[in-house]
Amino acid sequence: MTSSLVLTPVILCGGAGTRLWPLSREAYPKQFLALQGDDGGSMLQETARRLDGLSAEIARGQPLVVCNNAHRFLAAQQLHDAGFAAAQLVLEPVGRNTAPALALAALAAPADSVLLAMPADHVVGDVRHLHAALAAAWPLACDGAMVTFGVVPDRPETGYGYIRKGGALAGGGAYAIDGFAEKPSLERAQAYLAGGEHLWNSGMFMVRADQWLKALEVLQPAMLAACRAAMQGASRDLDFIRPEEAAFAACPADSIDYAVMEHLPGRTDLGMPACVVPLDARWSDLGSWDALWELLPHDGAGNATAGQTLAVESQGSLLFSQARLVATVGVQDLVVVETPDAVLVADKRRTQDVKKVVEQLKAQGRSVAGSHRKVHRPWGWYDSIDAGERFQVKRIVVRPGASLSLQMHHHRAEHWVVVRGVAQVTRGDETFLLNENESTFIPVGRTHRLANPGKLALEIIEVQSGSYLGEDDIVRFEDSYGRTTPGG
């Protein structure tokens, strides 16, 4: 049966990554960041590339990505840049956890698919061992099993759930599942590590699409009905599949583990045995700053650094800089993270509590909780580099061939200065080109558009002036990306 089946990677790309604030924020969460250095790809891109070199015996299709509607252009652009332009993107209108997300993927995938569910925000340091685990799981999943991957623990971790192994299965490399355990106390985690029968729950799964839907039909019928209705009413635009919002909003929210996986051990009526394949591949869910400290190289004093940093007589700390020099003197076990608009200083043992900072910032209505100073758009990005009463200065970068919407503002005028590339400017009834060091003025109320007709990135400095400078002062007339709401 395996010869007629195709492995469809399902990348689960939701989540806000609040424990990695201020680098990860709701508008640009950790799965879109290159946390291991700018020379590598984002976590999403690395997840998509993770199957490169997989055994030729496993036929592999294009990735299917389930992501938040607000992140659709980010995900599409990063996948395109990584060589996965043919990937399908299913846009969740609201978050409903991983079980409904996998149901949407199963309904969107080809009928002969074996789904490989992979969170977009995990790190796998040893891809060779991952491929070996996938090869062990493949025949089991093709025969109808629900296979999960249990990470071989190397420490008594209290932040992960655990899987208890049962007997070894024929063929080697996989085990039955005796049960699951929630995040344990330190004492219990130490016992799990010493006993050797428990694995960390990685959140990765392999299952045939039809088997997943059958399991939901028995175990979670309301969830399946809502997902079916959402996909039956789905619309398509550009490269996106948009499930019908009202139907999906009515879907119960639950994880793959709670909705299905934990019901399977000991049941034979579903025809869907639960199996676990041990994974020893330097895996991390990179859920907090101390996890990143573990992952990055350390100096002789145990410090991990990224960006412009200087650690003087400091030990066991993480220093992370995006824009400015971060220097420490005589500190130990600290996390210091600098971005252009925020700085975090935390005890390395308390990094799980960074989400409390985000909660308080949200309660205070501060935008820094959810968005960066640098804002990404489908045409490129802008950085608000200065602002004051009645003025704002932005650095705007437009990708080759891209354009902003044809728009108008009621309350502000704009001056544009081209510092790199060539700009095509539409202003009222006229269209003209601006070269480097040339500028133009857009009066209040004048219809305008900025486009990049060249093959290199266009960079301009925009100076806004007026009585109101909010992003919601945009009236769109045309947009290449199907946007109707304000926002550049």
45-100 pLDDT per residue, tens: 999 999 999 988 898 999 999 999 989 999 999 999 999 999 999 999 999 999 99
Q: Which of 243, 266, 284 finishes a domain? A: 284
pLDDT at position 39: 59
249 & 181 share domain:
yes
pLDDT at position 163: 95
191 & 243 share domain:
yes
- 426 in any annotated domain: yes
332 & 422 share domain:
no
pLDDT at position 421: 97
Query: Is it the case that residue 471 has pLDDT exceeding 90?
Result: no
29 & 164 share domain:
yes
Contacts for 100 with CB less than 8 Å, ≥ 6 apart: 223, 226, 227, 248, 251, 252, 253, 254
pLDDT at position 40: 72
Closest to 385 measured CA to CA, from 369, 396, 398, 377 = 396
pLDDT at position 267: 84
229 & 312 share domain:
no
pLDDT at position 485: 63
* Average per-residue pLDDT for the chain: 93
User: Within 13 Å, how many C-alpha atoms sit on residue 111's CB side?
Assistant: 0
pLDDT digits (tens, 9 = 90+) for 132-141: 999 999 999 9
245 & 296 share domain:
no
258 & 315 share domain:
no
- Burial per residue of 274-293, b for 16 or more beta-carbon CB atoms within 10 angstroms, e otherwise: bbbbbbbbebebbbbbbbbb
382 & 358 share domain:
no
- 67 in any annotated domain: yes
**Residue of higher predicted confidence among 200 and 488:** 200
- 118 in any annotated domain: yes
- 449 in any annotated domain: yes
Task: Compute φ and ψ for 182, nearest 5 degrees.
Answer: -70, 175
Please give the share of the chain, as a percent, with pLDDT higher than 90: 87
Query: Is it the case that residue 348 has pLDDT exceeding 80?
Result: yes
Provide the domain count of the chain.
3
Q: Which of 363, 394, 418 finishes a domain? A: 363
Query: Is it the case that residue 3 has pLDDT exceeding 70?
Result: no
Query: Is it the case that residue 293 has pLDDT exceeding 80?
Result: yes
Query: Is it the case that residue 171 has pLDDT exceeding 90?
Result: no
pLDDT at position 487: 54
For residues 423-434, give the mean pLDDT: 97
Query: Is it the case that residue 2 has pLDDT exceeding 70?
Result: no
- 325 in any annotated domain: yes
pLDDT digits (tens, 9 = 90+) for 144-155: 999 999 999 999
Region of 67 please: left (phi>0), alpha (psi -120 to 50) or beta.
beta
For residues 308-334, give the mean pLDDT: 97
pLDDT at position 226: 97
- 369 in any annotated domain: no
pLDDT at position 435: 97
312 & 204 share domain:
no
- Burial per residue of 441-475, b for 16 or more beta-carbon CB atoms within 10 angstroms, e otherwise: ebeeeebbbbbbebeeebbbebbbebeebeeebbe
Domain that holds residue 390: 374-478
pLDDT at position 200: 95
229 & 322 share domain:
no
- 368 in any annotated domain: no
- 487 in any annotated domain: no
The CATH code of the domain that includes 469 is 2.60.120.10
Query: Is it the case that residue 214 has pLDDT exceeding 90?
Result: yes
Query: Is it the case that residue 466 has pLDDT exceeding 60?
Result: yes
Query: Is it the case that residue 264 has pLDDT exceeding 60?
Result: yes
Please give the share of the chain, as a percent, with pLDDT higher than 70: 98
pLDDT at position 72: 92
26 vs 70: CA distance, rounded Å? 9
**pLDDT band with cut points at 50, 70 and 90 for residue 484:** confident
Query: Is it the case that residue 486 has pLDDT exceeding 70?
Result: no
124 & 254 share domain:
yes
* Sheet of 304-306, strand order: 304-306, 318-321, 334-339, 342-347
User: Which range has highest mean pLDDT (1-15, 369-383, 416-430)?
Assistant: 416-430
For residues 429-451, give the mean pLDDT: 97
140 vs 480: CA distance, rounded Å? 45
For residues 315-340, give the mean pLDDT: 97
pLDDT at position 37: 57
Query: Is it the case that residue 402 has pLDDT exceeding 80?
Result: yes
Q: Please give the radius of gyration of the chain, using alpha carbons only, rounded to the nearest integer.
A: 25
321 & 389 share domain:
no
Query: Is it the case that residue 36 has pLDDT exceeding 80?
Result: no
pLDDT digits (tens, 9 = 90+) for 191-202: 999 999 999 999
**Residue of higher predicted confidence among 240 and 270:** 240
